[in-house]
Amino acid sequence: QQQVKQSPQSLIVQKGGIPIINCAYENTAFDYFPWYQQFPGKGPALLIAIRPDVSEKKEGRFTISFNKSAKQFSLHIMDSQPGDSATYFCAACQGAQKLVFGQGTRLTINP
Amino acid sequence: KAGVTQTPRYLIKTRGQQVTLSCSPISGHRSVSWYQQTPGQGLQFLFEYFSETQRNKGNFPGRFSGRQFSNSRSEMNVSTLELGDSALYLCASSLGGGVTDTQYFGPGTRLTVL
């Protein structure tokens, strides 16, 4: 019930392409869904986040789509760049600071 | 503002020893959370402290403990180290610990247990 399932594990996209990372959850009590980006040797950094009463949120080239009935949410990166190559984690939070993370997606953007 | 700092950055210990990791949150942040990151299990929540009180706890054995000081700095202790405790230990701080408060992560402490 506390799991967040993330796919794919790894993804290779050409520069300018639109990588899509998907996450699914079971616990309907989750009320906050952030995405984190992690570069090697660094801690995760918040990229974008959404509440379940919103179906889509855009910040720059990053978009979260949220489907409450399906208990799924996804990250789209528009006009991807080699600098976007990193590991991406979806997460879910319920009422406090306890983040439940997906397993991560290693994204590579080829020039 | 300085970011979250963690010390030491790297540690090598042997089985059975104990270790203490330190985290200094961003100035003004009162909530500190700890996570363990491993290739197999990913990022897992250990515990969260707010105003020197543990508010949340993950599913880790009692060998993992923590505390928070009045200046919001936090320490994490692991006793009787096991090989499986080898991991990157991440600390994150946030302003008030509300659900939408952004958690800012430090660079982590890489612990290797031999």
Cβ neighbours, 10 Å, residue A85: 16
**What is the spatial distance between Cα A25 and Cα A74, in angstroms, rounded to a whole number?**
11
- Kindly list the averaged pLDDT for each block of 10 residues, start to end, along chain A of length 111: 89 97 94 95 94 94 96 97 97 84 97 94
Nearest to A45 by CA among B78, B25, B47, B4: B4
Supply φ then ψ for residue B85, to 5 degrees: -85, -5
Question: Which of A51, A97, A100 best tests the B interface by mutation, with the highest count of B CBs <10 A?
Answer: A97
Question: What 3-state DSSP class applies to B83?
Answer: helix
pLDDT band at residue B101 under the 50/70/90 scheme: confident
Supply φ then ψ for residue B88, to 5 degrees: -95, 125
Residues from chain B contacting residue A91 (CB–CB below 8 Å): 43
